[in-house]
Amino acid sequence: MRVLITGAAGFLGSHLCDRYLAEGHEVIGMDNFITGHPDNIAHLVERPDFRFVEQDVTKFIQVDGPVGGVLHFASPASPIDYLEKPIQTLKVGSLCTHNALGLAKAKGARFLLASTSEVYGDPKVHPQPESYWGHVNPVGPRGVYDEAKRFAEAMTMAYHRYHGVETRIVRIFNTYGPRMRPADGRVVSNFIVQALRGDPISIYGEGSQTRSFTYVDDLVEGIYRLFQSDRAEPTNVGNPGEFTIRELAAAVLDLTGSTSQLTHLPLPEDDPKVRQPDIAVARVVLGWQPRVPLLEGLQKTIPYFQQLVEREGAVARTL
């Protein structure tokens, strides 16, 4: 099958390209590098079964020839990125999703939307099942991302119901692994880079807020299975193991052998206090569950940041 992956030069998009190519598919990667990097796909560009198109997906998408799948991953994804690029983030969730769905409809392709646990906002139900409608502040600073993704889900369901497009929606929970940008401000990359450099580990608030962390290989497996399935409703894919931010900091310090101290910064506005996926649906419908525990995933991730710190003097960024 020939698949189009938008956001192909990003963290998740590049791993998806690897997986689809490894499964014998032909991949067209599309990206405008707004938060991605050519290095993430440098190992693919010479392959005959991979083609890269540099394009802003908010503009009309034209692809010649057959396309059997559209995996829509283009979007700024870290709070630092979407707070700095609020309009692009809203446009990517709305216009890009519309364009990508239009291409899927025209080609008779199956469409998969990369949605997010942020559609649950600061949740009042814990853990979060797919049936929970969420608790989002539409006019807060984070609303640009959360509402863009909620709109994208609504648009995807409308194309499914009205145009009969085969659609899938994955609600992705906090995922980490090699190819994250060291300065994208996400908690795992920040802590690892800060620990490796001996810089203070920046904790927002007391660090008692919880998050669930999914290793990228587990996520890609869940997405691959969801795409193959016949489930059109949104599906959580994430690791239900729940850790406080302080616990994550302790694990990173331990694994890196760092002597960095903890430093506390103000809690960002509308920051969720808890976050944990209910993955009962993924277990039953996809036969999927995460396999990589946090410590093992961190061990696989640290060497990637180590070489960036040593080679480029990579630094973390905080809000």
- Binding residues for ligand NAD, rule: CB under 6 A, are 6-7, 9-13, 31-36, 56-58, 73-77, 92, 96, 114, 116, 172, 174-175
The reply to whether 215 belongs to the active site is no
Q: Which one, 73 or 111, has the nearer CB to ligand NAD? A: 73
Q: Which one, 140 or 200, has the nearer CB to ligand NAD? A: 140
For residue 32, the minimal CB distance to ligand NAD (Å) is 4
Residue 277 has which token pair?
Answer: 């996926």
From the number of C-beta atoms within 10 Å of its C-beta (0-12, 13-18, 19+), residue 290 rates as buried
For residue 234, the minimal CB distance to ligand NAD (Å) is 12
Q: Which one, 73 or 159, has the nearer CB to ligand NAD? A: 73
Alpha carbon 7 to chain centroid distance? 10
For residue 190, the minimal CB distance to ligand NAD (Å) is 13
For residue 82, the minimal CB distance to ligand NAD (Å) is 8
Q: Which one, 188 or 258, has the nearer CB to ligand NAD? A: 188
Q: Which one, 226 or 258, has the nearer CB to ligand NAD? A: 226
Per annotation, catalytic residue among 20, 82, 120, 145: 145
For residue 147, the minimal CB distance to ligand NAD (Å) is 13
Catalytic residues: 145
